[in-house]
Structure 1
């Protein structure tokens, strides 16, 4: 009877550790969070954010049950042009004083094929929250040779309609494209 109890305890401990939730935090030295939008129907204007936080939580090694949370400081916008950055922070565009943070919280992460997933979640941008569906690629997991910590890589892309979020509604499509394209890539370190 004692032997069965020991085996049952071991199996219970193994199953608890197998299904324990793990948190992964973005490694900002190896990540980029950016966007692009068409300008005057002629070119893609690109920008990124320098200050943000992103975490992934999962219990499965293939991340098929992962949840993603991202918080972005709007005032950290960077387009490599100080005058444009200042204008983008104004009420004409991001209105950073009124809406200082952009957030994303996933509601599902579903495998499509191989390492490709659909990432669905609530994007709060410019004071509006709407569901967006993004494409995600899980690039794998490996141990960092220097830190000896496990690292997972992801690339995420997608787009949304700027007017759905009340963003730059006065700008005609011939001046500013209707679609804001998102692209994020980076490494996440297991905590």
Structure 2
């Protein structure tokens, strides 16, 4: 029994040793979307306040788990009146549902730097599985005045239907049901800086 407990403790210690956490560099990251207005022209927007982390047990992040939160009240389409309408009960109803979250459930390599990222998206109080296309650049080691740091760049894209999440209704049909998502993010490995002596 003592031997089994020791083996479990060693295994858990090994997992914690190799677990990596990567934090979002918010100044080099963006979560955006595109919808079509009146089936005529595309309108772009983004969420100005986002946060995300990546955890992985492999150095190449091939088993990465992504978690993201966006403040829906930070929605920005370069039109104050439109942004106000999107925050209203007609669309996101941010008074009741102020955040949007995503947590990945699996990641599958397609080829080279390309992956399929599967996960649960929660928006407007509704959680649905989504599949996104992901491109990973890096990880790379960067020299800084303080030493070395490890960074990775991630691009994700995909399409979803806002009606699946109860965002908008038939009375808001001037906006396409399909929404294109696009994200670009830079992550830095936590405690990855090696101080120069």
TM-score by length of 2: 0.85
2:135 to 134, 137, 140: 137
Aligned equivalents of 1:128, 1:135: Cα separation in 2: 22
Residue 17 of structure 1 and its aligned partner are, at CA, apart by 7.8
| Counterpart residue number, 1:187 | 186
Residue 64 of structure 1 and its aligned partner are, at CA, apart by 1.4
Q: Equivalences for 1:30-179 in 2 at 5 Å?
A: 30-146=28-144, 148-171=148-171, 173=173, 175-179=174-178
Aligned equivalents of 1:103, 1:172: Cα separation in 2: 23
Residue 104 of structure 1 and its aligned partner are, at CA, apart by 0.3
Task: Report runs of 4+ in structure 1 exceeding 2 Å deviation.
Answer: 15-19, 143-148, 170-173
| Range that drifts further, 77-86 or 129-138 | 77-86
Residue 177 of structure 1 and its aligned partner are, at CA, apart by 0.9
Instruction: Note if contact 1:23-1:55 (Cα within 8 Å) is conserved in structure 2.
Output: yes
Unaligned runs of 5+ in 2: 1-9, 191-197
Instruction: Note if contact 1:38-1:44 (Cα within 8 Å) is conserved in structure 2.
Output: yes
Give per-residue Cα distances to partners, 1:25-44, cap 9 Å, x unaligned: 11011111111111111111
**CA 1:134–1:171 in 2, change beyond 3 Å: closer, same or farther?**
farther
**CA 1:45–1:171 in 2, change beyond 3 Å: closer, same or farther?**
farther
Instruction: Note if contact 1:30-1:187 (Cα within 8 Å) is conserved in structure 2.
Output: yes
Aligned equivalents of 2:122, 2:132: Cα separation in 1: 15
Instruction: Note if contact 1:48-1:78 (Cα within 8 Å) is conserved in structure 2.
Output: yes
Give per-residue Cα distances to partners, 1:8-28, cap 9 Å, x unaligned: xxxx89x93897110001101
| Range that drifts further, 16-25 or 163-172 | 16-25
Figure out how many residues of one structure are paired with residues of the other and give that number. 178
Unaligned runs of 5+ in 1: 1-11
Instruction: Note if contact 1:26-1:55 (Cα within 8 Å) is conserved in structure 2.
Output: yes
